[in-house]
Structure 1
Amino acid sequence: MKPEETVRALWERTQQRDWDGVGALLAEDAVVEWPVSGERIVGRDNYVRLNAEYPEGWTIRVLRLVADGEEVVSEVEVPHEESGLHRVASFWTVRDGRIVRGREYWSVPGSDEAPRWRAAYVEPM
């Protein structure tokens, strides 16, 4: 499986709640970091359990994947029934068909107020 196929499969299997399938895509010692919340998930089992136990009500839509060798970037939209819309930019390293490292930036669109000084140069999305 090409690295971008591995990452696409990760999101598809997560959407399907196929936790064994998600685990099969991760190296046993995979590390995934969430800098926005200051958390590091160490190990395949912790990554799978964290996602399996996340409160239900969410779906996943892959907006794009960009790959360069073993490095893959994904942009994903995750609407949740209770907590609203989330966007995530993820940077993955895939070796031998398994994710060995990830860094994900989860955010809520519109949660950062735009500074007034930029108003002359931008338009609302």
Structure 2
Amino acid sequence: MQEDKIREALSAHWHASAVGDLDAEHGIYDDDAICDYPQSGERIIGRSNLQALRSHHPGKPSGFNVRRMQGEGNLWVTEYTINYEGRTAYTVSIMEFCNDKVIHETQYFSDPFEAPGWRSRWVQKIA
């Protein structure tokens, strides 16, 4: 898959995720795709299991914002935020493509934290 087609497929995937269109959201995955959540030690095997898991999430996302997509060849990274029940999760998705479909995804989730004051003279605040 050419990089412009991958970027287009990813944009459609993230848009579908944001609006809650589960079928369109999961169309990017191969039937046998693997999705890893390293922080919880979980692996989801197969598109149908991944879609079922996400469709049963008790705290449906109320906000979703892609901050950056970057990739080359078959490896793509997306940084985004998801709002669950008034809390923001900063998220990184690493996707590996084969034959126009995602065959492996790893997702990392992080809670925001207050920056310590001691480093304020060396940093700038970002949104």
TM-score (norm 2): 0.81
SS of structure 2 residue aligned to 1:103:
strand
Partners of 1:120 and 1:21 lie apart in 2 by 43
Partners of 2:119 and 2:69 lie apart in 1 by 31
For 1:21, the aligned partner's letter is A
CA gap 1:30/1:57 in 2 versus in 1, 3 angstroms: closer
Aligned to 2:28: 25
Size of the aligned set, in residue pairs, is 121
Deviation of 1:28 after TM superposition, in Å, equals 0.3
> Is the CA contact (8 Å cut-off) linking 2:36 and 2:43 kept in structure 1?
yes
> Is the CA contact (8 Å cut-off) linking 1:90 and 1:104 kept in structure 2?
yes
Gaps of 5+ in 2: none
For 2:34, the aligned partner's letter is V
CA gap 1:57/1:69 in 2 versus in 1, 3 angstroms: closer
For 2:14, the aligned partner's letter is W
Superposition pairs of residues 54-65 of structure 1, within 5 angstroms? 54=57, 55-65=59-69
> Is the CA contact (8 Å cut-off) linking 1:89 and 1:104 kept in structure 2?
yes
- CA RMSD of the aligned region, Å? 2.3
CA gap 1:17/1:29 in 2 versus in 1, 3 angstroms: same
In percent, how many aligned pairs have the same letter?
24
Deviation of 1:27 after TM superposition, in Å, equals 0.2
For 1:76, the aligned partner's letter is Y
Deviation of 1:100 after TM superposition, in Å, equals 0.9
> Is the CA contact (8 Å cut-off) linking 1:3 and 1:95 kept in structure 2?
no
Aligned to 2:79: 75
Deviation of 1:121 after TM superposition, in Å, equals 8.2
SS of structure 2 residue aligned to 1:94:
strand
CA gap 1:120/1:21 in 2 versus in 1, 3 angstroms: closer
> Is the CA contact (8 Å cut-off) linking 1:13 and 1:21 kept in structure 2?
yes
| 1:92 to 2:95 alignment | yes
For 1:34, the aligned partner's letter is Y
For 1:58, the aligned partner's letter is S
Deviation of 1:119 after TM superposition, in Å, equals 4.7
Deviation of 1:49 after TM superposition, in Å, equals 1.2
Among 107, 110, 113, the alignment partner of 2:113 is 110
